[in-house]
Amino acid sequence: MNKKVLAINSSKRKRNTYGLLIDIKDQLKKINIEVEIINLHDYNIEICTGCESCILKDKCFLDDDMDMLMNKLQQYDGIILSTPIYLNNISGKLKIFIDRTCRWVHRPAITGIPIMNVVTTSFSGIYNTLKYMDNVAIQWGAFPTDNISRKVTTIEDKVQPKEYKNFVKHIMMDKKLYKPSIQQLIYFSVSKVLAQKVIKRDSKYWEEKDWLSKKYFYDAKINIFKKIIANKFYRMIYKKVKL
Ligand SMILES: Cc1cc2nc3c(=O)[nH]c(=O)nc-3n(C[C@H](O)[C@H](O)[C@H](O)COP(=O)(O)O)c2cc1C
């Protein structure tokens, strides 16, 4: 069966970022990966009101397309997040969307799904923007892989297969062979402590998922050094956070 990827664009116009997504879609089709492109501007996504009900009660009182979108993201083998760079960071539309996924930081729902980031800019902001986007993928419990970027000077350059090699590899690969980074393991530890000691909703969810006794969301390749560091970090924050 063909693998399915969801590509999320967050520029209101169909220009530079969209063009890159089309190129990637055409290329992935040739290796039997279907890419569906959606644009956040086609959906009703309200700004987070800051009530924290999603975190504490697992309910958002805003009536819009976010539940549908968050369910949709869970149906794919891979996700491409894309944005034009605005003021050296992601577009406002993408940020509004990400803010509304806050419950996933506590109760991850797309664990292990490979994410590839695609950004376009005139000149600046690539490093900063991609670093932030990678961090979001990690906080979601997803798996950051490749990052593709273009500037005004390189926008006509076709995407090269080596630029999405890691993304494709992870889509095809058994999760047991994934190698989570130390940052991913640390975020896992922080969320686990929150689930054990701070937020009741999280502890029920983490118990159901059977994550509380785990080193990571799923069996993966974690070398001994990473295990030791992550375990030390976990024990340290477990001690510091009071019930
Ligand atoms: C509001 C706004 C802010 C921007 N900020 C930056 C910036 O900080 N650095 C930069 O090099 N280009 C900046 N740009 C240029 C866009 O990142 C660039 O044109 C991008 O490729 C547009 O993508 P799109 O065609 O998919 O909308 C900005 C453009 C806009 C409209």
Cβ 186 vs Cβ 232: under 8 Å = no
Pocket of ligand 1 contains residue 232 by CB under 6 Å? no
What pLDDT is recorded for position 242? 79
Residue 19 alpha carbon, nearest atom of ligand 1:
26
Q: Which two tokens stand for residue 7?
A: 């590509």
Ligand 1, atom 24, lies closest to the CA of: 16
| Distance in Å, CA 7 to ligand 1 centroid | 19
Element (H, E) at 146: strand 143-150
Residue 243 has pLDDT above 80, yes or no: no
22 vs 176: CA distance, rounded Å: 31
Task: Give the residue, out of 81, 89, 121, with the most ligand 1 atoms within 8 A of its beta carbon, to mutate for a pocket test.
Answer: 121
Ligand 1, atom 16, lies closest to the CA of: 121
Q: First and final CA of the chain: distance in angstroms? A: 47
From residue 79, alpha-carbon distances to 9, 45, 57, 130, 201 in Å are: 11, 19, 27, 15, 27
Pocket of ligand 1 contains residue 88 by CB under 6 Å? yes
Task: Give the residue, out of 86, 87, 154, with the most ligand 1 atoms within 8 A of its beta carbon, to mutate for a pocket test.
Answer: 86
Residue 155 alpha carbon, nearest atom of ligand 1:
21
What pLDDT is recorded for position 224? 95
What pLDDT is recorded for position 1? 76
Pocket of ligand 1 contains residue 149 by CB under 6 Å? no
What whole-number percentage of the chain has pLDDT above 70? 100
Q: What is the pLDDT of residues 55-92, one digit of tens each?
A: 999 999 999 999 999 999 999 999 999 999 999 999 99
Q: Which residue ranges form the domains of the chain, and what is each CATH number? A: 3-173 (3.40.50.360), 182-240 (no CATH)
Average pLDDT for the chain: 96
89 burial via Cβ count (<10 Å: 0-12, 13-18, 19+): middle
Q: Which two tokens stand for residue 238?
A: 């477990």
What pLDDT is recorded for position 144? 98
